[in-house]
Amino acid sequence: MNKAVILLSGGLDSSTTLYYARSKGHACHCLIFDYGQRHKKEILSAKAVARAAHCAFELVKIALPWKGSALLDKKVNIPKHRKLDATNIPATYVPARNIIFLSFAASYAEALGARHIFIGANAVDYSGYPDCRPAFIHAYQSMLAQGLKTGVEGKTITVETPLIHLTKAHIVRLALKLGVPVEKTWSCYQGGRTPCGVCDSCRLREKGFQEANHEDRGRTSS
């Protein structure tokens, strides 16, 4: 069975990506990050999803003391009711987050002997983060081929992005088809007892479930 490293945040997209990788026969090893995010509840959701999928996981704690994001600095307000316009990068962007996460995943994959890294990046219904675009993934893939022992030896670790061209509604339908426990997932940036319903992540999730004509069982999870 092919080993794969899965970047798992506990949100709908990353959880669907985990179940997708598992459906393709991969032995999935999840990486969950505690990077000082205010919505730490997603860590509990990530662990719950990994356990539901019967997959191993590693929790990696890192510090980004320079902050630079509303997700890291409680003095910066998380945007509410923002126009969902992917051409403007919101205050919830975390500088170089996916570069950092993918680098940990690459190190883990090479040490583990895994040939695949799965990330739930999406460039259709998303908040405009530059590190979710296909151009970024392609560039990062090229870097791995040059910067890893496996790449030099012709055993390149492949970054897989099965959701990158899907709408949120398509992701919802795929999640339901794969049996993702959506009630265990967490999307809200606020990290309160229940989803705020007004941040970008909540609104994109709501949009997806509405367009998929399906009730969101995780909407009021606590």
When pLDDT is averaged across residues 81-95 and rounded to a whole number, the result is: 87
For the chain, give the mean pLDDT: 94
Q: Is the pLDDT of residue 86 over 80?
A: no
What is the rounded average pLDDT of the residues 87-111? Answer: 95
In this prediction, residue 22 carries a pLDDT of: 98
Residue 220 lies in a domain: no
Give the residue-averaged pLDDT of 70-88: 88
**Do 219 and 195 contact (CB within 8 A), yes or no?**
yes
CATH number, domain at 96?
A: 3.40.50.620
Q: Which two tokens stand for residue 29?
A: 């090893």
Does residue 219 lie within any of the structural domains? no
Domain membership flag for residue 222: no
- Give the closest residue to 12 by CA, choosing from 140, 166, 136: 166
What proportion of the chain, given as a percentage, has pLDDT over 70? 98
Edge to edge, the sheet with strand 158-160 lists: 56-61, 27-34, 3-7, 116-118, 158-160
Q: Which of 50-54, 104-108, 125-129, 172-176 has the lowest mean pLDDT?
A: 125-129
Question: Could you tell me the residue range of the domain that residue 111 belongs to?
Answer: 3-211
Q: Is residue 221 part of a domain?
A: no
Query: Total structural domains in the chain?
Result: 1
Q: What is the pTM of this model?
A: 0.95
Residue 218's pLDDT is what? 73
pLDDT of residue 87: 77
Q: What is the pLDDT of residue 221?
A: 43
Q: Is residue 43 part of a domain?
A: yes
pLDDT at 61 over 50: yes
What pLDDT was estimated at residue 126?
83
Q: Does 218 reside within a domain?
A: no
pLDDT score of 219 = 63
Flag whether 216 is in a domain: no
What mean pLDDT is predicted for residues 66-89? 90
136-188 confidence digits (pLDDT tens): 999 999 999 999 999 999 999 999 999 999 999 999 999 999 999 999 999 99
Is residue 217 domain-resident?
A: no
